[in-house]
Each structure stands twice: as C-alpha cells, then as structure tokens.
Amino acid sequence: MLKKTVFVGTLVYTFFIITVSLIKLNNLPDVKISFGDKIFHFLAYAVLTVSWFFSFSFTFNVKIKKALLSAGLLSIIFGIILEVLQESFTEFRSLDIYDALVNTLGVLMASVVLWNAKSLHVKN
C-alpha cells in the first residue's frame, strides 16, 4: 500500500508541475522576492527529483545509483520538454533558458543531497 502511495504521490506532483507550467495563473499575489520564480523552479525540480528517486528505489526496487540517475535524467528532460511546450502551445508563457538552467540546478542539488545522505551509502 505504501509503495503505491509513494508512486501516486509522485504522479500527482508531476501533473501539478505540468498544470502550473502550462496554464495561465491569474490573480496570484506578486512576490516581492528577487528571482522568486527562479527559487520556485529550483525547489520544484529538487522535490520532483526526490519524488521520482523514491518512486524508483522504493516502489520499483531499483538500485540506488540507477534510481538516482533515472530520477535526475527524467527530471531534467521533463523540465526542458515543459519549457518547449510553454513556447509551442501557450500564448502567455515562453521558453526561458534560465528556467531550464535553474530546473537543472535544482535536480543536481537534490541528487547531491540524496547521494550524500548517510542512509543511502551502499558499497557496490
């Protein structure tokens, strides 16, 4: 049951990112933080990477190295595809190379944290 919950949670979070990336977000409060949207991108993709890592390693019993690599690559490719879709299919969003870069940095940071977590060290 828990394995299914982890995977479903990951899918829900993934579809949440798709939704907020491709719809017009009206009436949102204006964030007065410098680079606020970049901070959101960084955190969103770090969480996405962690979610997919746990889905791969816990739900599908993939070895840690492979789960981390798979989650990282999936998250980076996902972010690039969403940026292209924003440019191609919306009139109110555009491809932003800096968003893709920050997404990738979030993925890399999450990957480093996961790799260095004491509970994940495995001797192969």
Nearest to 48 by CA among 22, 81, 15: 15
pLDDT at 119: 63
Q: State the pLDDT at residue 54.
A: 95
Predicted TM-score (pTM) of this structure:
0.88
The Cβ-side half-sphere exposure at 109, using a 13 Å CA radius, reads 15
Digitized pLDDT (tens) for each residue of the chain, 124 residues in all: 888 999 999 999 999 999 999 988 776 566 566 677 899 999 999 999 999 999 999 999 999 999 999 999 999 999 999 999 999 988 888 899 999 999 999 999 999 999 998 665 555 4
- C-alpha 40/C-alpha 108 separation (Å) is 15
Per-residue pLDDT, 49:
98
What per-residue confidence (pLDDT) applies to 93? 86
